[in-house]
Amino acid sequence: MRVFNFAAGPATMPLEVLEQAREELTDWSGSGMSVMEVSHRSKAFVAVAAAAETRLRRLLGVSDDYHVLFLQGGATGQFAAIPMNLAGPGDTVSYVNTGAWSKKAIGEARRFAEVEVVADEAASGYSTVPDATSLSPAPGSRYLHYTPNETIGGVEFGYVPDAGDVPLVADFSSTILSRPVDVDRFSLIYAGAQKNLGPAGICLVIVRKDLAGQARDGTPMVWDYAQMAAADSMLNTPPTLAWYLVGLVLEWVERQGGLPAMAARNRAKAEQLYTTIEESPFYSNPVAPAARSWMNVPFLLADSALEPTFLTEAREAGLVNLEGHRSVGGLRASIYNAMPLEGVTALTDFMKEFERRHG
């Protein structure tokens, strides 16, 4: 029996994708082999890799001015790869701090460049995003980095910062493909796959071609965007199974109607959940309304002592992985693309029923 899985990542996958993968597992494409047993250099796999790139470009509207890379090392690897590729030692780079993942990106960048934190939402307890008009990169910055969606805090930007002539770099790990985005506003977009793109083990990097090719001396070749682009992301053996699954997820997103359809669904899911939280003093969400995430919804019970009971009863009702991140506690529902509206309805029905019994 499938449960509704509200995990933050690795996260729920579209059931159709899992069923297709199961169907093809032992005899893929008439090869008599699994996709994970064929060479990454085989014609058949190269076609899978190319099709995933084409679909991604089509879905997000990524022009020929950008490389699309499928790398390893996760978004965490990119925390280092970004300054290595886009800044020299001692150069200034600007970062926006909106919470846990911004902080990790900042911490890693400090090992490679001079980090200026140009906005820090500490005063609000990381429940807000900076005002659009107040945000600008420090003078001489090689780039401005921000986190459009903070997976732990549940804080999401409703706008794209204006960095002027400074390249804009964004960690889209937990919001990629959740709604349309104007890729041309960005110089670099990156995202670990394990939320909206597929399974863990592969990381998407979309980088302007004119910014690749300036990696600092000593950059490992697997982190060098230009070298990876020249090798079609196959300088080392790529995670072929994950890449194939990302391709199936992208096909699934296209079948749903692409990003406008995903956005409409995601908005409806988020509104339903936030409304349930808002309607009752039994539940609360700490994030400023304008900065509430469509993907990750943290919430608290008025009586936190009831949390273990909530989690146990939810699990019994087939609603799993609702605990908040270990660093912050509380509860959290991650409602990525693959979470159907029925899953959110099952959750909000459960929440109302739980309140009736325990409120």
Beta strands in the chain (DSSP E): 4-5, 66-71, 92-97, 114-120, 144-146, 149-150, 155-156, 168-171, 188-192, 203-208, 283-284, 296-301, 319-320, 331-334
Give me the catalytic one of 43, 120, 171, 210: 171
Q: Residue 61 and residue 317: Cα distance in Å, rounded? A: 40
Q: Nearest residue by C-beta to ligand PMP?
A: 74
Closest by alpha carbon to 75, among 193, 215, 176? 193
Give the nearest distance from C-beta 171 to ligand PMP in angstroms.
5
Asked about 171 being catalytic, the answer comes back as yes
Among the listed residues 75, 176, 207, 333, the single contact to ligand PMP using CB under 6 A: 75
Give the nearest distance from C-beta 352 to ligand PMP in angstroms.
29
173 forms part of the interface with ligand PMP (CB under 6 A): yes
Among the listed residues 12, 97, 141, 174, the single contact to ligand PMP using CB under 6 A: 174
Name the DSSP class of 325: P
Give me the catalytic one of 91, 165, 195, 349: 195
Nearer to ligand PMP, 34 or 76 (CB): 76
Nearer to ligand PMP, 147 or 285 (CB): 147
Asked about 252 being catalytic, the answer comes back as no
Q: Which of residues 261-300 bind ligand PMP (CB under 6 A)?
A: none
Answer positive or negative: Cα dihedral of 69, 75, 76, 81. positive
Q: Which of residues 4-23 bind ligand PMP (CB under 6 A)?
A: 9
Q: Longest Cα pair distance anywhere in the chain, in angstroms?
A: 63
Closest by alpha carbon to 205, among 222, 194, 218, 192? 192
Name the DSSP class of 33: S
Instruction: Render 216-234 in DSSP notation, one character per residue.
Output: PTT--GGG-HHHHHHTTT-
198 forms part of the interface with ligand PMP (CB under 6 A): no
Compose the 80-119 pattern: x for residues touching ligand PMP by CB under 6 A, - for all others: ---------------------x------------------
Q: Which of residues 136-155 bind ligand PMP (CB under 6 A)?
A: 147, 151
Burial (Cβ within 10 Å: 0-12, 13-18, ≥19) of residue 346 = middle
Asked about 195 being catalytic, the answer comes back as yes
Rounded-to-5 percentages of helix, strand, coil across the chain: 40, 15, 40
Could you tell me how many residues of this chain bind ligand PMP (CB under 6 A)? 11
Give the nearest distance from C-beta 274 to ligand PMP in angstroms.
20
Footprint of ligand PMP (CB under 6 A): 9, 74-76, 101, 147, 151, 171, 173-174, 192
Point out the residues that are catalytic.
101, 171, 195
